[in-house]
Chain A
Amino acid sequence: MTDLAVVSTGLTKRFRSGQVAVNTVDLAVPYGSVYGFLGPNGSGKTTTIRLLLGLVRPTAGTHRLLGSAMPGAAARVLPRVGALVEGPAFHPYLSGLDNLRRLDAADRTVEPRSAGARIDAALDRVGLLAARRKRYRHYSLGMRQRLAIAAALLRPRDLLILDEPTNGLDPQGTREVRSLLSALSATGTTVVLSTHLLSEVEQICSHVGVMHLGRLVAQGPLAELRARTAPSVEVRSADAAGAARVLTELGLTEVVTVGETATGVLGGVVPEKVVAALVHADVPVRGFQVRSADLEEMFVQLTGEGFDVSG
């Protein structure tokens, strides 16, 4: 399996409390992909990330990062992996710059002489260069998040594992981080991105894995997962009831009218046929739209629930 940057087999973590946080998870993250790791709060995403990095020992199962078996190869592999786990964490009484210096000093595989330049470059990429001498204590939530991303970029990485990287960022910051991730991905870096923001997945991810109650319930290229869920049509008409009748007659399912809008799942019916039938039945059509199932619907279909906290 040399085409996978992250691969796990039966990865399981049962805590001493008896709670099974991660249950036989088989991750497969292809090299070069941007892998959206989705799931409601408490579904096991963060524990999975801790397992991947070797912070937590698995109860069962194995995994490989960048082709090497973990945790045995941690010393060789982890320097090539940038990580953000469960939010930023730094020494509050040190400046952002000094915090990065400390992390860089802990890495024995980097060239010490280039530390200053690499730290400045990382700070610059996240827009913190001007605030680098400020104590971390005085950073805003967004600045703290940026510093954590800078720490993941202290050196060129082959794999980034980022747990909710845009958490706490303002819309401008969110955009910046997304374009940064896209740029990194364009240079060949594999990105694993845990998030509960579906729009984020929609915008930058090529692959998706969905966690639910500790299990990986779906995984694959985003387009492929999408295709599994059927597209629907939306008809806006003064005679919504008439439109709904036509949709039902054509064999569309889950037909619903809300105000002046009738919707139905297309199934095998081609949209052109729907328009012709509506006109033929003298239903006044003001608007007609074909919608592929959006990610949220897909998510609900996969997990059987919305974004509630998994118990």
Chain B
Amino acid sequence: MSAVELRARPSTRFFRSELWLIFGRRRNWVGMAVLAAVPVLLIIAVKVSPPGGGGGPDFVNQITQNGVFAALAALTLELPLFLPVAVASISADSIAGEANLGTLRYLLAVPVDRVRLLVVKFAAIAVFALAATLLVAGVGALLGLAVFGGGPLVTLSGTTLPFWAGVGRLVLVCGYLTVCLTAMGAIGMFVSTLTEQPIGATIATLVLTVGSEILDAIPQLAVIHRYLPTHYWLAYTDLLRDPVSYDQVVPGLWSATAYILIFGAAAWARFAGRDVTS
């Protein structure tokens, strides 16, 4: 019997292993390739047939003047479904995927404390949400600049910002959307603690997200709109005004924080004492 006292050292190894599990998986590469394909297609389409003005969404019309707008246009196109699908599949896989494979019991026997497991899984979901957003924006901005060149950014208020200030606004938009998507990831992680079927958890998370978007589109339900998880997502456009309007962005950040705390706590309540029989 070794009487050696085992001491747990703070370590980022498990977190890094988790990131590697997400970003090293071929299935996720395919998903990220799809995310990256949207700005590429958009830029090709605009190059082949430049918009005649007035027709498409605002951002698309401006791509020819400033390539950075390709990033904003691509984010706008992917926000209703593609980005939520990506985050839902990763977050819903977090616990249910391990339970489904049976690796959950071996992680817990290592031992990995259950709270630590949730924290690491959630942190990895947040990193993925950031990576997915930056991927769409990055591909759009770089390819847009390469094809159409840079230029001043015309804000939604009609004023003009110098090029680098415009890039700064794009970074703010990415940050805001990352927080919004991470809140959705917290919901997905909670759903993931309820089942051993990652596909079912993914679908349930998407139903909640798209369902929230649908409810948000029904004017008669205005009283509940501000409590919906997706209600403030489109507030990112306020970051493109001059001066920036925080009327919707700040409540949006509070809403996301509340969703993260509530569903993080719910995941803990569900998972901490659960019998792992998978």
Binding site for B on A (CB under 8 A): 15, 31, 50, 53-57, 66, 74-76, 78-81, 83, 85-87, 89-94, 101-103, 105-109, 112, 151, 156, 158, 188
Contacts and interface: CB of A to CB of B under 8 A. Distances in A.
Given A31-B1, A57-B275, A103-B106, A92 B111 contact: no
B276 A56 contact: yes
A249 B13 CA distance: 75
Given A31-B1, A93-B25, A188-B1, A105 B109 contact: no
Contacts of A79: 6, 110-111
A105 B105 contact: no
A131 B2 CA distance: 32
Interface of B: 1-2, 5-11, 13-14, 16-17, 21, 25-26, 101-103, 105-113, 273, 275-277
B9 A105 contact: no
B2 A158 contact: yes
A92 B101 contact: yes
A55 B275 contact: yes
B109 A85 contact: yes
Contact of B277 (A56, A75, A91): A56
A55 B101 contact: no
Given A54-B108, A93-B25, A102 B101 contact: no
A301 B7 CA distance: 47
Given A79-B111, A93-B25, 20 more contacts: A55-B275, A55-B276, A55-B277, A56-B276, A56-B277, A57-B275, A80-B2, A80-B6, A81-B109, A87-B102, A89-B106, A91-B101, A94-B21, A102-B21, A103-B107, A105-B16, A108-B13, A109-B7, A151-B106, A158-B1
Given A55-B276, A89-B103, A91-B101, A156 B2 contact: yes
A51 B68 CA distance: 57
A75 B8 CA distance: 8
Given A91-B101, A156-B2, A57 B273 contact: yes
Given A105-B13, A105-B17, A108-B11, A85 B106 contact: yes
A74 B109 CA distance: 9
A55 B110 contact: no
A121 B277 CA distance: 30
A103 B26 contact: no
A96 B49 CA distance: 51
A91 B103 contact: yes
Contact of B111 (A78, A91, A105): A78
Nearest to B13: A105
Contact of B102 (A66, A89, A93): A89
B109 A53 contact: yes
Contacts of B5: 76
A21 B246 CA distance: 58
A298 B39 CA distance: 73
Contacts of B112: 106
A102 B7 contact: no
A93 B21 CA distance: 10
Nearest to B120: A106
